[in-house]
Amino acid sequence: MHTSFDTTLPAEILDGIIDELGCSQDSDPESLKTLLHCALVSRSFHHRATGHLFANVAIAPTANWTNTHTDYGRFTVARLEALYQILRKNDRIGPRVISFSLEATLSHLDPRDEGSEPDDMIRRGQTLPGILRLLSSIRQFSWKNHVGSVFSDDFGSDLMDAIGSLGERASLQSLSLERFELTVFPLNFF
């Protein structure tokens, strides 16, 4: 005799399990691994799991980073470009990002010099402005510069417009720009 069991759990319980994994993913590598697997199980799991996987995006050096300023600049540009491609290919991820943190090593731009290639790609490129525009539900944006102060005059207008557009979002609760001298600030922020 074969007995059939109903193994369907209510959606609220499944959501609670995935939410618990999401809360512990930073401190428990196994939770992160399980959350990644949940994102592949089914569409309903995928939606809930990716909300946790992409909620907090950080582009920052590891604690043992020992490479040069230029190497870190290239690393930052590569990570920004990879993130931009992910956000462009899947339009459901950008709205799920709640917190975006960026750490860079930009130096003040000498008017006689266009700066290093990675610095220019961050300052005047289209990648970072594109990312900021796709984060429609962002609550927290922080950008820390590790090398001296950087002046807003050093940035391209597209980047300044994208930073200013963050202020138009009702979801934004916190904006932090560390080691920046804001001689110009977009009016649409206030």
Task: Give 155's pLDDT tier (boundaries 50, 70, 90).
Answer: confident
Q: Assess if residue 175 is contained within a domain.
A: yes
Residues 115 and 25 in one domain: no
Residue corresponding to tokens 């200013």:
164
Task: Give 164's pLDDT tier (boundaries 50, 70, 90).
Answer: confident
Find out whether 118 and 76 touch, Cβ atoms under 8 Å.
yes
% helix, strand, coil for the chain, step of 5: 50, 15, 35
Residues 98 and 33 in one domain: no
Residues 21 and 104 in one domain: no
Predicted pLDDT of residue 86: 95
Report pLDDT digits (tens) over 83-108.
Answer: 999 999 999 999 999 999 999 887 66
Residues 117 and 160 in one domain: yes
Q: How many domains is the chain built from?
A: 2
Q: What are phi and psi of 72, to 5 degrees?
A: -65, -35
Residues 76 and 155 in one domain: yes
The boundaries of the domain holding residue 38 are 10-53
Predicted pLDDT of residue 74: 85
Q: What is the pTM of this model?
A: 0.82
Residues 82 and 100 in one domain: yes
Report pLDDT digits (tens) over 53-67.
Answer: 999 999 987 766 666
Residues 101 and 134 in one domain: yes
Residues 77 and 47 in one domain: no
Residues 160 and 75 in one domain: yes
Residues 45 and 139 in one domain: no
Q: Assess if residue 3 is contained within a domain.
A: no
Integer Cα distance of 39 and 69 in angstroms: 36
